[in-house]
Amino acid sequence: MICFLVMAFRVQEVLLQILKMIVTIIRRPPWSSASKKVSGMVESKSVGTLIQLQKKDRPQGLYVDRGVVSPKLGKSFSACSLASGLNFGSTKAMPEAAGAVAAAAVADRLHGSKEDRKLAIVLVGLPARGKTFTAVKLTRYLRWLGHETKHFNVGKYRRLKHGANQSADFFRPDNQEGIEARNEVAALAMEDMIDWMHGGGQVGIFDATNSTRKRRYMLMKMAEGNCKIIFLETICNDRNIIERNVRLKIQQSPDYADQPDYEAGLQDFLERLTNYEKVYEPVQEGSYIKMIDMVKGEGGQLQVNNISGYLPGRIVFFLVNSHLAPRPILLTRHGESLHNVRGRVGGDTVLSEDGELYSKKLANFIEKRLKNEKTATIWTSTLQRTILTATPIVGFPKIQWRALDEINSGVCDGMTYEEIKKIMPEEYESRKKDKLRYRYPRGESYLDVIQRLEPVIIELERQRAPVVVISHQAVLRALYSYFADRPLREVPDMEMPLHTIIEIQMGVTGVEEKRYKLMD
């Protein structure tokens, strides 16, 4: 019996070693071991610093064939600095990347400690530096990818326990009573986050100034054995941006909702800010990410230290491509196609008469709405009904994305739902029970669509000019759910009508939406 157990243990050990080797091979990039070249970046083995390569002009053309690709940090980066605005994507199809992503996630889950499976992103920074906006944005992104994520705002805990009318004196560094009160609510928020993680939560976003080492060490002590902490520090040196954020704070913060005098509120907040500046200590401990002057989306830096793993790598990749510059994103389905008229799934048919009329109305709308936006672009799928819809639009470059193609309906392509119900009743019922996870035979599910749309989301976040996305119902449901921060379970049933434009305005105040119905 003992011999049998020993043999079983050795077999399990060998299997784990084989899995490690497979993951290593999948992760290993096809370049020399002397230096790693990563789409515009080189990692110097001697200093561990990522340096931006000289950018090459992108090839001129309409077709961008981008496969499913997800960024990873294959090793722990120490004191690593990344220039913002870098494009980590690939311009060629990488179908094997989906397997690499899955293998990396499995490896992290198998070999990582229990503590590493739960992640706390702890914000650090002075007031009016964009911490809460960054926290909300990151929460939305991780939820959309399917990670159980929750935003814990310590300011809400403070207002519930001590009221919203605390003056700047409450935040004085020599006010011991105020310090203890603020540490108490921070500990309460941390305890709630840890309890939530024990109940199934995966990523907690802990939103507070956390501006002293003492506070951060308190949080690290509480996290021991429960979750891994990554500090996310937001630093801004642009006085104009800080002044703008201060004005927004006075106008929107619950702390000043009952203050009718704007100037009095402004003076109080500036005193509070001065109190924080007196004791502020930049992060130098533990694992951290520093966002330095990245608000504009250009000229900033992202510094990372001791960051490793699949999910932290995705977070770094998202942050390096994010900025707060306001710009609109317009989403619309293609004009009505012949398959829409016939009630058939998928296909690659041309437009109906109504669809052709919509393409002309859409061109007129775009011409008026974006007449002053010379750098705007039009994105379509590779299917002809979206390309034909975009044809009348002139004056803007057009890019075809394979990732924007409609959900692959596999063997059901070209059938009506009545035909599917009659010929494949079990498939029909399975789809009816769970449209989010249901995968068409030899096709895709909504979750598959979301996975392949991640590069599109990253590119939309990176853009500083307006983008018009002409795509398909399932794809636009998935994209819209990201911007609207809707639960994944709602994605398959979202209303996405034909001949309607959804304008998403992205900016410092959040995401706003407008709808324009061009045809009845």
> What is the set of active-site residues?
207, 236, 334, 406
How far does the chain reach from its first CA to its final CA, in angstroms? Answer: 76
List all residues 6 or more positions away from 315 whose beta carbon is below 8 Å from its beta carbon.
121, 138, 142, 230, 289
- Strands 119-124 and 228-235 come out as parallel
Q: Is the Cβ–Cβ distance between 342 and 336 less than 8 Å? A: no
Whole-angstrom Cα distance, residue 338 to residue 356? Answer: 11
Of 276, 300, 311, 320, whose CA–CA distance to 121 is shortest?
311
The CB-side HSE value for 302 (13 A sphere, CA atoms) comes to: 26
Whole-angstrom Cα distance, residue 283 to residue 209? Answer: 12
Whole-angstrom Cα distance, residue 389 to residue 380? Answer: 9
Whole-angstrom Cα distance, residue 152 to residue 206? Answer: 5
Q: Is the Cβ–Cβ distance between 288 and 428 less than 8 Å? A: no
Residues present in the chain in total: 520
Please work out, in degrees rounded to the nearest 5, the angle formed at the alpha carbon of residue 132 by the alpha carbons of 226 and 459: 95
